[in-house]
A and B are shown apart, each in its own frame.
Chain A
């Protein structure tokens, strides 16, 4: 068996085992990948992970985004190499939450030192058609809410940096490095106050067509109103451009979970397998 590094240049070679939705992240700063090949160069197992809290004062962690295992032995070999690479990058612990994991792979991960359990996924899927029925959709957003398609790069970066000065506002650690084109240009929107960008609702469209809000934040005295207007604007555009699409909302902290609970009471995530391991 031999271990190969998965990178942006060779990710296409793994298209049969790694979904496009995960694969597109290989161009991002903190995504890493490893694959285990047999002597005939067939892919036996693969793993993609994202580093978290890399340049913060808290422990660096790794979140596994995708695991593929043709056979459990190869996964063990792969995870040993993963451990070496992770510790080189000061990763203290590794965790995962995956809805697509089968029991065989879950057991294999348990055998490799992960503390595995069944959980409700933190991701909630909501059809765009259901979003359109929200009570707040009766209001019209003002003209200072606009699509990011209209926004020049300098103003985009200025707005992003202003918001990132607040901690833990984005689902993406490397947001300040992500190009504007990563986001759906019409559904993603921003607000301005005194000609300066002070709020964003950035939505990424995965290759599979799923929409995922990545940044939803505003600053200034009217931030609550601005947040509501941006949501109305984005939903309206999503309904126009992607009427049959689904939106993936990641309940990554208490605030987001509370908002989802309020807007969509009773909405639950899919069953998933979660695990954790100290490195």
Chain B
């Protein structure tokens, strides 16, 4: 009786853990679905929610198969359950890598061009899983001579474990590649972009390799915590962004002050645009002209600042005239101003332009 009660407790603990995970995932998915801005990032985040939910559901549904390991009554169906969880993890981390890429560069084309082969390992895995299932179902087992069944099962087990380790290896490569992307971007653009990945990676790695025991699977909770951290850092990043225009808010100016002070250089130019008219229309004009590596800030007084490294005056003049011309075509009058910082405190320079 006590044994049975213990089993029931352990069984319920698994269910409870996974239900908590599903509730958390569901809440984050609802937040993403109702967020009207940064649509592409939200869609990627939703996909990660669905995949993490898949890990949880697999944990619950295949618990009964996993329990059979304890009674020694396992059949071939157990390992494709584990493999399915590995596939969800693989897809989840692949989607996360694309999310990191998009968070850094905001470019659909870069993803299409640089990641077109990212799904190949997945399809190879799907074919292998399907093949494994076809090979190891009862129809096949009934036709194997009894003296060969053990060897047949053993080989199948080794092959699918190997597949699982290959998938994990690819996942680890994705983590390393994500670090490479973040480091490369940090080197290219000196101003911080708040894409933080280490806490998420730690959770994912724990989810991949840590298992308390076969009856208390906690993979899904680690992945859920990892997902929550993605949400948290995304939310923190969005705090610097104006939801209407996608430009930075005045809150981000403090980041710019600190960055330029630390850099210790004079290399900073600001072009300001003060529209007399619909600021959102002005923002649409500016979006077409934002140079790479510069930051556009929307101020509460209606001004827009384009902050870049030290700029040639004739280039700035030409830039201002082209934007003013386009804004006028859209019915907006604009006042412009330009300055390059020269031996003055960063904050004072910015305040002069605000």
Q: Interface segment, A20-28, A132-140, A162-170?
A: A162-170
Across the interface, do A165 and B293 meet the contact criterion of CB distance under 8 Å?
Answer: yes
Contacts of B294 in A (CB 8 A): 165
Stretch at the interface among B71-79, B225-233, B312-320: B312-320
Complex contact A158–B292 (CB within 8 A) = no
B313 A220 Cβ-Cβ under 8 A: no
Partner of B114, one of A162, A194, A196, A222: A222
**Given A158-B289, A219-B293, A220-B292, residue A165 in contact with residue B315 (CB < 8 A):** yes
Residue of A nearest to B114 (CB): A222
Q: Which of B14-22, B46-54, B102-110, B249-257 contacts A (4 or more CB under 8 A)?
A: B102-110
- Kindly provide the distance from the CB of A107 to the nearest chain B CB, expressed in whole angstroms: 37
* Interface-side segment among B135-143, B213-221, B303-311: B303-311
Interface residues of A in 152-168 (CB under 8 A from B): 154, 157-158, 161-167
Interface size on B, residues (CB 8 A): 32
A221 within 8 A of B: yes
Complex Cα–Cα for A40 and B318 (A): 44
A193 in the interface, Cβ–Cβ < 8 Å?
yes
**B113 on the A face (CB < 8 A):** yes
Chain B 319-348 interface 0/1 with A at a Cβ cutoff of 8 Å (1 = within): 100100010000000000000100000000
Instruction: State whether B318 touches A161 (Cβ < 8 A).
Output: yes
B interface majority secondary structure: helix
Q: In the complex, which residues of chain B have a beta carbon less than 8 angstroms from the beta carbon of A196?
A: 288
Residues of chain B with a CB closer than 8 A to A174's CB? 314
Interface centre among B184, B292, B318 (most CB of A within 10 A): B292
- Interface contact B105-A221, CB-CB below 8 Å: yes
User: B256-291 toward A: CB 8 Å interface, digit per residue (1/0)?
Assistant: 000000000000000000000000000000001111
CB-CB contacts of A64-92 with B at 8 A, as 1s and 0s? 00000000000000000000000000000
Judge whether A2 is part of the interface by a CB distance below 8 angstroms: no
| Interface SS, A side | loop
Closest Cβ–Cβ distance, residue A193 to chain B (whole Å): 5
Whether A188 sits at the interface, judged by CB under 8 Å, is no
**Interfacial chain B residues near A194, Cβ < 8 Å:** 107-109
Question: Chain A residues near B326 (CB, 8 Å)?
Answer: 154
B291 touches A165 (CB 8 A): yes
Residue on A with the closest CB to B106?
A194
- Of A54, A157, A192, A219, the residue contacting B292 (CB under 8 A) is A219
| Most chain A Cβ neighbours within 10 Å, of B313, B314, B317, B322 | B314
Interface mask (A4-19 → B, CB under 8 Å = 1, otherwise 0): 0000000000000000
Q: Which residue of B lies closest to A53 (CB)?
A: B312
Alpha-carbon distance A196/B108, docked complex (angstroms): 12
Q: Which of A142, A164, A222 contacts B110 (CB 8 A)?
A: A222
CB of B107 within 8 A of CB of A164, answer no
Chain B residues contacting A192 (CB-CB under 8 Å) are 109
Residues of B within 8 A of A177 (CB): 318
CA distance A166 to B294 in the complex (A): 10
**A144 contacts the other chain (CB 8 A):** yes
Which residue of A is nearest B312, CB measured?
A: A56
Determine if A50 is an interface residue (Cβ-Cβ < 8 Å): no
Does A55 make an interface contact (CB < 8 A)? yes
Beyond A193-B109, A194-B107, A221-B105, is A162–B314 a contact (Cβ under 8 Å)? Answer: no
What separation, in Å, do the CA atoms of A246 and B5 have in the docked complex?
Answer: 88
Give B89-112 as 1s and 0s: 1 = Cβ < 8 Å from A's Cβ atoms.
000000000000000110111100
Q: What is the minimal beta-carbon distance from A95 to any residue of chain B, in angstroms?
A: 20
Question: Smallest Cβ distance from A192 to chain B, in angstroms?
Answer: 8
A161 to B311, CA, bound (A): 11
Point out the residues of chain B lying under 8 angstroms from A56, CB to CB. Answer: 312-313
Verify B110–A220 contact, CB threshold 8 A.
Answer: yes
**In angstroms, how far is the closest chain A Cβ from the Cβ of B41?**
14
Residue A234 lies at the interface, judged by CB distance under 8 Å to chain B: no
The answer to whether B292 and A198 have CB atoms under 8 Å apart is yes
Give every chain A residue within 8 A of B313 (Cβ-Cβ): 55-56
- Distance, CA A174 to CA B318, complexed state (A): 10
Q: Which residues of chain B have C-beta atoms less than 8 A from A219's C-beta?
A: 291-293
A57 touches B113 (CB 8 A): no
Does A123 reach chain B (CB closer than 8 Å)?
no
| A176 interface residue (CB < 8 Å to B) | yes
- Measured in the bound complex, the distance between the Cα atoms of B288 and A154 in whole Å is 10
**Which residue of A has the minimal Cβ distance to B110?**
A221
Does A205 make an interface contact (CB < 8 A)? no
| Cβ-based interface call for A184 (8 A) | no
- Chain B's nearest CB lies how many Å from the CB of A129? 31
CB pair B110 A161 closer than 8 Å: no
Q: How far is the CA of A119 from the CA of B317 in the complex (A)?
A: 37
Question: A55-B313, A55-B314, A177-B318 are known contacts. Are A161 and B291 too (CB-CB below 8 A)?
Answer: yes
Rounded to whole Å, the gap between the CB of B328 and the closest CB of chain A is: 14
Residue positions of A touching B, CB distance < 8 A: 54-57, 142, 144, 154, 157-158, 161-167, 173-174, 176-177, 192-194, 196, 198, 219-222
Which are the 9 A-B pairs with shortest beta-carbon distances? Answer: A219-B292, A165-B291, A55-B313, A55-B314, A176-B318, A162-B291, A193-B109, A164-B315, A194-B109
A sample of 7 inter-chain contacts (CB < 8 A) reads A57-B340, A144-B109, A165-B308, A165-B315, A198-B292, A221-B105, A222-B113
B interface, CB within 8 angstroms of A: 104-105, 107-110, 113-114, 184-185, 188, 288-294, 308-315, 317-319, 322, 326, 340
